[in-house]
Protein backbone atom coordinates (compact mmCIF):
# COMPACT_ATOMS: atom_id res chain seq x y z
CA UNK A 1 0.00 0.00 0.00
CA UNK A 2 1.42 3.38 -0.96
CA UNK A 3 2.05 6.09 1.58
CA UNK A 4 -0.74 8.27 0.20
CA UNK A 5 -3.23 5.40 0.24
CA UNK A 6 -2.30 4.58 3.86
CA UNK A 7 -2.73 8.23 4.86
CA UNK A 8 -6.15 8.42 3.20
CA UNK A 9 -7.22 5.17 4.88
CA UNK A 10 -5.97 6.37 8.25
CA UNK A 11 -7.80 9.69 7.98
CA UNK A 12 -10.95 7.91 6.83
CA UNK A 13 -10.84 5.56 9.81
CA UNK A 14 -10.28 8.49 12.19
CA UNK A 15 -13.17 10.48 10.70
CA UNK A 16 -15.47 7.45 10.81
CA UNK A 17 -14.59 6.71 14.42
CA UNK A 18 -15.38 10.32 15.36
CA UNK A 19 -18.78 10.09 13.68
CA UNK A 20 -19.64 6.71 15.19
CA UNK A 21 -18.61 7.53 18.75
CA UNK A 22 -20.14 11.00 18.79
CA UNK A 23 -16.73 12.36 19.78
CA UNK A 24 -15.93 15.88 18.62
CA UNK A 25 -12.79 16.89 16.79
CA UNK A 26 -11.96 19.11 19.79
CA UNK A 27 -12.10 16.03 22.06
CA UNK A 28 -9.73 14.17 19.74
CA UNK A 29 -7.27 17.06 19.73
CA UNK A 30 -7.58 18.42 23.29
CA UNK A 31 -9.10 15.50 25.19
CA UNK A 32 -12.50 15.44 26.88
CA UNK A 33 -11.60 18.09 29.49
CA UNK A 34 -10.05 20.43 26.91
CA UNK A 35 -13.11 20.08 24.68
CA UNK A 36 -15.30 21.01 27.65
CA UNK A 37 -13.19 24.16 28.18
CA UNK A 38 -13.72 25.10 24.52
CA UNK A 39 -17.46 24.41 24.68
CA UNK A 40 -17.89 26.41 27.90
CA UNK A 41 -15.85 29.29 26.42
CA UNK A 42 -17.94 29.44 23.23
CA UNK A 43 -21.18 29.53 25.25
CA UNK A 44 -19.77 32.15 27.65
CA UNK A 45 -18.51 34.42 24.84
CA UNK A 46 -21.81 34.04 22.96
CA UNK A 47 -23.85 34.89 26.05
CA UNK A 48 -21.80 37.99 26.88
CA UNK A 49 -21.64 39.21 23.25
CA UNK A 50 -25.45 39.08 23.09
CA UNK A 51 -25.86 40.89 26.42
CA UNK A 52 -27.02 37.84 28.39
CA UNK A 53 -25.83 36.97 31.87
CA UNK A 54 -23.78 33.77 31.88
CA UNK A 55 -24.37 30.92 34.30
CA UNK A 56 -20.75 29.83 33.75
CA UNK A 57 -19.26 32.43 36.11
CA UNK A 58 -18.05 31.14 39.51
CA UNK A 59 -20.02 32.54 42.44
CA UNK A 60 -16.84 34.00 43.97
CA UNK A 61 -15.54 35.52 40.73
CA UNK A 62 -14.74 39.23 40.81
CA UNK A 63 -13.61 39.43 37.19
CA UNK A 64 -14.41 42.39 34.97
CA UNK A 65 -16.72 41.12 32.22
CA UNK A 66 -16.88 44.41 30.33
CA UNK A 67 -19.73 45.17 27.94
CA UNK A 68 -21.25 43.05 25.12
CA UNK A 69 -19.23 44.79 22.39
CA UNK A 70 -16.00 43.68 24.12
CA UNK A 71 -16.93 40.06 23.35
CA UNK A 72 -18.25 40.46 19.81
CA UNK A 73 -15.95 38.77 17.29
CA UNK A 74 -14.11 36.60 19.84
CA UNK A 75 -13.99 32.81 19.97
CA UNK A 76 -12.30 30.03 21.92
CA UNK A 77 -8.62 29.44 21.25
CA UNK A 78 -6.45 26.68 22.69
CA UNK A 79 -7.18 25.29 26.17
CA UNK A 80 -4.34 24.42 28.50
CA UNK A 81 -3.80 23.31 32.06
CA UNK A 82 -3.17 26.34 34.25
CA UNK A 83 0.51 27.21 34.76
CA UNK A 84 0.95 29.38 37.88
CA UNK A 85 4.48 30.56 37.02
CA UNK A 86 3.13 32.40 33.97
CA UNK A 87 -0.15 33.66 35.47
CA UNK A 88 0.99 34.77 38.93
CA UNK A 89 -1.94 37.16 39.45
CA UNK A 90 -4.50 34.40 38.79
CA UNK A 91 -2.68 31.70 40.81
CA UNK A 92 -4.37 32.78 44.06
CA UNK A 93 -7.77 32.06 42.43
CA UNK A 94 -6.88 28.36 42.05
CA UNK A 95 -7.88 27.86 38.40
CA UNK A 96 -7.23 24.50 36.77
CA UNK A 97 -7.58 25.60 33.13
CA UNK A 98 -7.14 28.66 30.95
CA UNK A 99 -7.84 29.40 27.32
CA UNK A 100 -6.79 32.21 25.02
CA UNK A 101 -9.43 34.01 22.99
CA UNK A 102 -9.01 34.39 19.25
CA UNK A 103 -10.11 37.31 17.12
CA UNK A 104 -10.64 40.94 18.01
CA UNK A 105 -13.76 42.79 19.07
CA UNK A 106 -15.54 44.47 16.18
CA UNK A 107 -14.04 47.91 15.51
CA UNK A 108 -10.87 47.33 17.56
CA UNK A 109 -8.08 49.87 17.02
CA UNK A 110 -4.67 50.24 18.67
CA UNK A 111 -5.18 50.94 22.35
CA UNK A 112 -8.42 48.92 22.57
CA UNK A 113 -8.62 46.71 25.67
CA UNK A 114 -10.31 43.36 25.15
CA UNK A 115 -10.67 39.97 26.87
CA UNK A 116 -7.58 37.91 26.03
CA UNK A 117 -7.67 34.86 28.31
CA UNK A 118 -10.27 33.11 30.46
CA UNK A 119 -9.51 31.09 33.62
CA UNK A 120 -11.59 28.14 34.80
CA UNK A 121 -12.04 26.33 38.05
CA UNK A 122 -13.32 22.76 38.13
CA UNK A 123 -16.32 22.28 40.43
CA UNK A 124 -18.72 19.42 41.15
CA UNK A 125 -21.15 21.06 38.71
CA UNK A 126 -18.56 21.41 35.94
CA UNK A 127 -16.35 24.31 34.90
CA UNK A 128 -16.88 27.87 36.05
CA UNK A 129 -15.09 31.05 35.01
CA UNK A 130 -13.06 32.53 37.83
CA UNK A 131 -11.25 35.33 35.97
CA UNK A 132 -10.73 37.12 32.66
CA UNK A 133 -7.36 38.63 31.73
CA UNK A 134 -7.60 41.70 29.53
CA UNK A 135 -5.17 42.58 26.73
CA UNK A 136 -4.43 45.81 24.88
CA UNK A 137 -4.22 45.88 21.10
CA UNK A 138 -0.81 47.28 20.15
CA UNK A 139 -1.15 47.46 16.37
CA UNK A 140 -3.36 46.28 13.52
CA UNK A 141 -2.14 44.36 10.49
Domain count, the chain: 1
CATH of the domain at 43: 3.10.450
141 found inside a domain: no
Range of the domain at 61: 31-136
Using an 8 Å Cβ cutoff, are 58 and 128 in contact? yes
**117: CB partners within 8 A, 6+ apart:** 87, 98, 99, 100, 101, 132, 133, 135
84 found inside a domain: yes
pLDDT for 54-102, tens place per residue? Answer: 999 999 998 999 999 999 999 999 999 999 999 999 999 999 999 999 9
Of the candidates 133, 128, 132, the one whose C-alpha atom is nearest the C-alpha of residue 60 is 128
Residue 5 binned pLDDT confidence (cut-offs 50, 70, 90): low
Q: Is the pTM of this model over 0.85?
A: no
Distance between first and last Cα of the chain:
46
Residue 21 binned pLDDT confidence (cut-offs 50, 70, 90): very low
21 found inside a domain: no
Mean pLDDT estimate for the chain: 87
25 found inside a domain: no
Amino acid sequence: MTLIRRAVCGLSVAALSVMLTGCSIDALIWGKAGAQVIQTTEKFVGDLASGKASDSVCTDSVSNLGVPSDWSGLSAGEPEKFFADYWEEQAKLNPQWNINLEGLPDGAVPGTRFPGDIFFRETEGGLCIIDVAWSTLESVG
